[in-house]
Amino acid sequence: MHTEILKWLQNNADEKYRAFSAKLLPPETKLLGVRIPVLRRYAKTILKEGRGEAYLNIPPQEIMYQEEQMLHAMILANAKMPKEDKIPLIKKFVPNIDNWAVCDIFCADLKEVKKSPQLFFKTFKPLLASGQEYQVRFFYVLALSYFISAGYLDELFSLIAKQKYTGYYDKMAVAWFLSVAYVKFPVETEAFLFNTPLEDFVFRKSISKICESFRVSREAKIHLRTLASTHKL
């Protein structure tokens, strides 16, 4: 099965898209150049044909290309199975995530988190102590997608205040989280940003991403920039 799928991916590769994507991903990422919509359709086909479980059982060491990882993420996220069966598979897959694109698409596709947010929050919060860049990113991207609500906000702020970072992409995930949190909870998020000793990069990038948002008013952006210009970390 793996050989067949790899051949399909190679036959559907787009060199121009590969070259474009290579500029956005870590240099060690091996790419074929298959577009995301094409991968999504293929993942649905594999699931419809009942071959999803077989693909998920391919050993991680046999996976070479970004598109194979992406396909795994899409199939796992969209497979119809009890959450008791799916969560162990997610826990097994997350340590294999090695770039932001696979991480973010996987999180976006895990729609069932909406049905059991407390379970997913409790299960994956320990990733924050993993010391692994993309495992930390996974939790915060999951959080900005499904956990920005009054019931989780204070705990998430507390977790961010204590977070130890290992790379660029976990820091970016936190900044992204804070920018989304600001849209939904501007007063609380502003108070957190200016009263918490955050890393300079995280603070500055959070302000930047908030100010890039089309969901934040011009007046609010001016206000934040003014505060940030005199803020001492």
Tokens of 188: 């609380």
Query: Which pLDDT does position 24 carry in this prediction?
Result: 94
Residues 93, 120, single domain; the answer is no
| Percent of the chain's residues with pLDDT above 70 | 100
Query: Which pLDDT does position 233 carry in this prediction?
Result: 66
Mean pLDDT of the chain: 96
* pLDDT beyond 80 at 129: yes
Q: How many structural domains does the chain have?
A: 2
d(CA 153, CA 159): 10
Residues 102, 134, single domain; the answer is no
Residues 120, 103, single domain; the answer is no
Residues 211-229: tens digit of each pLDDT = 999 999 999 999 999 999 9
Residues 124, 198, single domain; the answer is yes
* pLDDT beyond 70 at 118: yes
Give me the half-sphere count of Cα atoms (radius 13 Å) on the Cβ side of residue 67: 28
Query: Which pLDDT does position 82 carry in this prediction?
Result: 94
Domain range enclosing 13? 1-109
- Residue 230's pLDDT band (boundaries 50, 70, 90)? confident
Query: Which pLDDT does position 127 carry in this prediction?
Result: 97
Residues 117, 88, single domain; the answer is no
Residues 224, 148, single domain; the answer is yes
* pLDDT beyond 80 at 232: no
Residues 23, 123, single domain; the answer is no
- Which ranges of 49-199 does DSSP label H, i.e. alpha helix? 52-56, 66-78, 83-93, 100-109, 117-124, 133-146, 153-162, 168-184, 186-195
* Residue that is last in its domain, among 93, 109, 125: 109
Residues 164, 223, single domain; the answer is yes
Q: Which amino acid is at 177?
A: F
Residues 166-195: tens digit of each pLDDT = 999 999 999 999 999 999 999 999 999 999
Residue listed under structure tokens 């956990």: 147
Residues 13, 95, single domain; the answer is yes
Model confidence, pTM: 0.94
d(CA 210, CA 184): 11
Residues 50, 148, single domain; the answer is no
Residues 10, 76, single domain; the answer is yes
Residues 119, 77, single domain; the answer is no
Can you tell me the mean pLDDT for 119-143?
97
